[in-house]
């Protein structure tokens, strides 16, 4: 069993940056692919970014490509989402996810095994 706890959300101005963290416990996530999703009011939960267990491959949704970067530090059992040039459209609850199918981003992007509780990101202009 893997527990995931997101942190780093908050209220920021459009154009600012924010870094989200996802701390895992219960077991090491070094063999897990990790991902970030978000859900805005009235919207479905959508994929944001994913990273393989090794960190050698990543995937980012088109709407955040070039602005957001997913990364991981397996020694700290933590995954990050660096968010730059934030827009009001980025406001949402951001969720961390994990998949035991760690060698590819496909499974964590579509059917993760574990979810965190989410952290709120609010962007004003």
Q: Per-residue pLDDT tens for 10-43?
A: 999 999 999 999 999 999 999 999 999 999 999 9
Q: Per-residue pLDDT tens for 98-125?
A: 999 999 999 989 999 999 999 999 999 9
Q: What is the dihedral of CA 3, 8, 11, 16, to 10 degrees?
A: -130
Q: Per-residue pLDDT tens for 60-83?
A: 999 999 999 999 999 999 999 999
Looking at residue 17, its pLDDT comes to 98
Structure tokens at 99: 């998949």
Distance of CA 74 to the CA centre of its chain: 15
Q: What are phi and psi of 68, to 5 degrees?
A: -105, 145
Whether pLDDT at 1 is above 90: no
Give CA separation, 101 vs 3, 25, 28, 82, in Å.
17, 18, 14, 24
Structure tokens at 25: 């416990």
């Amino acid at each position: 069993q893997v527990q995931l706890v997101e942190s780093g959300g908050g209220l920021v101005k459009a154009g600012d940056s924010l870094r989200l963290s996802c701390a895992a416990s219960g077991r090491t996530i070094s063999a897990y692919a990790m991902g970030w999703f978000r859900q805005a009011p009235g919207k479905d939960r959508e994929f944001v970014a994913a990273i393989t267990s090794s960190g050698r491959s990543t995937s980012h949704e088109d709407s955040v490509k070039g602005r957001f970067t997913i990364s991981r530090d397996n020694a700290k059992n933590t995954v990050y989402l660096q968010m730059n040039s934030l827009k009001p459209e980025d406001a949402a609850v951001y969720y961390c996810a994990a998949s035991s199918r760690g060698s590819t981003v496909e499974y964590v992007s579509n059917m993760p095994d574990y979810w965190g509780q989410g952290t709120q990101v609010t962007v004003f202009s």
